[in-house]
């Protein structure tokens, strides 16, 4: 015989169901997915930091922002609103990280050309402005002159293809020591340093088809020394021409 059991309201069966229902309560299911997503974002930023030299201060702030959103900062520490990175700034971090990689690769290629040719008197460095290629006076010019030496043109011919491929703004800077000059062509170090920078710019434009719209020249005379002008050796360091491939943050400072 089929037995039918009725469950009355308030019965033990019903109460047991409610008990189990309460026990299964807790965080909504979507929180698990959300937590996984934030964890992956955190891992992505850590990988990004390991692969590129991004601004450490901004990166640390970004990490604190993510940790704050996950509620894992001890004591509920609050961040100032000015410390949070906006969505656009996160994009800038990605761009700057990629740009840094491009400059490091360019540095490597230029350095290899200099090393393979055993070229003396040329330095290649990365600084806050971008890639700096520094020529001491004797490499490009004779003393007191602004005409590019023939052997120097060969050096410029080797590195020019790498520079033009960057499509970046390039600034040429001329510098001298503090010994005065007073000739018909160059009444002072201002004229000498400027003429040298201009002649390098003109050579790259006329020989290698650099766009004049991305080129600029500046002469600083003896007023931007990198060493004290207290010995012949130090003065030789100050007589130089710098080629600077500018970072995007400095391109906006160039005249339009």
Q: State the average pLDDT for the chain.
A: 81
Residues in the chain: 256
Domain encompassing residue 77: 29-85
Sign of CA dihedral 110, 115, 121, 123: positive
Question: Which residues, other chains included, contact 116 with Cβ-Cβ below 8 Å and sequence gap of 6+?
Answer: none
Quick one: pLDDT at residue 16? 47
What pLDDT does 199 receive? 98
User: 188 and 131 share a domain?
Assistant: yes
Report yes or no on 211 lying in a domain. yes
Per-residue pLDDT, 8:
47
Closest CA to 45 of 28, 27, 66, 30: 66
pLDDT digits 0-9 by tens, 129-187:
999 999 999 999 999 999 999 999 999 999 999 999 999 999 999 999 999 999 999 99
Residues 240 and 135 in one domain: yes
Question: Which of the pair, 27 or 184, is modelled with greater confidence?
Answer: 184
Query: pLDDT value at position 251?
Result: 75
> What is the share, in percent, of the chain residues with pLDDT greater than 70?
68
Query: Torsions phi, psi of 74, nearest 5?
Result: -55, 135
> What average pLDDT does range 32-52 have in this prediction?
74
pLDDT of residue 56: 58
Residue 52: the pLDDT is 56
- pLDDT at residue 177 in the model: 97
Residues 160 and 236 in one domain: yes
Report the side by side order of strands in the sheet with 130-136.
Answer: 122-127, 130-136, 240-246, 170-175, 215-219
Top pLDDT among 167 and 36 is at 167
CA 2 vs. chain centroid, Å, equals 82
Q: Phi first, then psi: what are they for 192, rounded to 5°?
A: -65, -50
Separation CA 236–CA 98 (nearest Å):
36
For 145, the token pair is: 């002159």
- What local confidence, expressed as pLDDT, does residue 216 receive? 97
Confidence category of residue 13, pLDDT binned at 50, 70, 90: very low
* Domain shared by 48 and 125, yes or no: no
Is 220 within a domain?
A: yes
- For residues 37 and 118, state if they share a domain: no
Buried b or exposed e, range 155-187, using 16+ CB within 10 angstroms: bbeebbebbbebebbbbbbbbbbeeebeeeebe
Q: What pLDDT is stored for residue 4 in this prediction?
A: 47
Q: Is residue 77 located within the same domain as residue 174?
A: no
Tell me if 172 sits within 8 A of 156, measured CB to CB. no
Q: Is 70 a member of any domain?
A: yes
pLDDT of 193 higher than 90: yes
- The residue-averaged pLDDT of 14-40 equals 63
Q: Which of 13-22, 127-136, 180-189, 212-221 has the lowest mean pLDDT?
A: 13-22
Question: Is position 9 within any domain?
Answer: no
Considering the domain architecture, whether residues 34 and 112 belong to the same structural domain is answered as: no
CATH number, position 182? 3.30.1330.60
For residues 207-246, one letter each, b for 16 or more C-beta atoms within 10 angstroms of the residue's C-beta and e for the rest, the string is: eeebeeebbbbbbbbbebbeeeeeeeeebbbbbbbbbbbb
- What is the structure's pLDDT at 95? 59
- Please give the C-alpha separations between residue 52 and each of 85, 104, 142, 167, in angstroms, as whole numbers: 18, 10, 41, 22
pLDDT of residue 30: 72
Tokens, residue 220: 């600083």
């Amino acid at each position: 015989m089929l037995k039918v059991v009725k469950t009355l309201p308030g019965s033990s069966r019903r109460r047991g169901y409610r008990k189990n229902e309460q026990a299964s309560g807790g965080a909504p299911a979507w929180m698990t997915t959300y937590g996984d997503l934030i964890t992956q974002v955190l891992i992505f930023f850590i990988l990004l930091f390991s692969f590129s030299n991004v601004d450490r201060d901004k990166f640390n702030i970004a990490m604190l922002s993510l940790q704050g959103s996950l509620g894992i900062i001890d004591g509920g520490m609050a961040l100032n609103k000015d410390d949070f990175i906006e969505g656009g700034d996160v994009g800038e971090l990605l761009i700057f990280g990629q740009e840094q990689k491009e400059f490091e690769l360019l540095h490597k290629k230029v350095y290899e050309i200099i090393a393979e040719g055993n070229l003396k008197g040329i330095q290649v460095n990365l600084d806050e402005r971008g890639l700096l290629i520094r020529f001491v006076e004797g490499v490009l010019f004779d003393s007191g002159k602004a005409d590019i030496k023939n052997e120097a043109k060969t050096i410029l011919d080797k590195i020019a293809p790498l520079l033009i491929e960057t499509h970046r703004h390039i600034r040429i800077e001329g510098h001298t020591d503090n010994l005065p000059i007073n000739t018909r062509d160059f009444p002072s170090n201002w004229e000498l340093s400027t003429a040298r920078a201009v002649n390098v710019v003109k050579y790259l434009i006329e020989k290698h088809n650099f766009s004049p719209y991305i080129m600029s020249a500046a002469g600083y005379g003896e007023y931007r020394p990198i060493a004290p002008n207290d010995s012949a050796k130090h003065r030789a360091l100050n007589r130089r021409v710098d080629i600077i491939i500018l970072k995007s943050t400095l391109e906006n400072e160039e005249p339009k």
